[in-house]
Structure 1
Amino acid sequence: MKTRLTCPCGTTIVGKDEDELVTLAQEHLAAEHPGREYDRDMILFMAL
């Protein structure tokens, strides 16, 4: 299960499970990188 992602901007996002990680990553993108959207598969592909 992947629960950690480091955004190219340097922010590390950690979720308790993949669902939370995807939600937190999408919230980060909306807040910090407007116009960038990644679906669940892309987020999990980049995650550890």
Structure 2
Amino acid sequence: PSYRTLLDKDGAYHPSEPVLGGARAMLDELFRWSEALKGLRSGLPSE
């Protein structure tokens, strides 16, 4: 959806359930990947 439809008259953002669900799924997947890659990052030399 267009984000403008999710703004109130004061410009505050009020996401719909589908938007929240999509964001939740994306963040859950990013967390899953970050946990999976944690071991690889720990083996890297410090900069």
Same fold (TM over 0.5): no
Larger radius of gyration between Structure 1 and Structure 2: 2
More strand by share: 1
Q: Give TM-score scaled by structure 1 length.
A: 0.36
Q: Give TM-score scaled by structure 2 length.
A: 0.37
More helix by share: 2
Pick 1 or 2: higher relative contact order, CA cutoff 8 A, min separation 6: 1
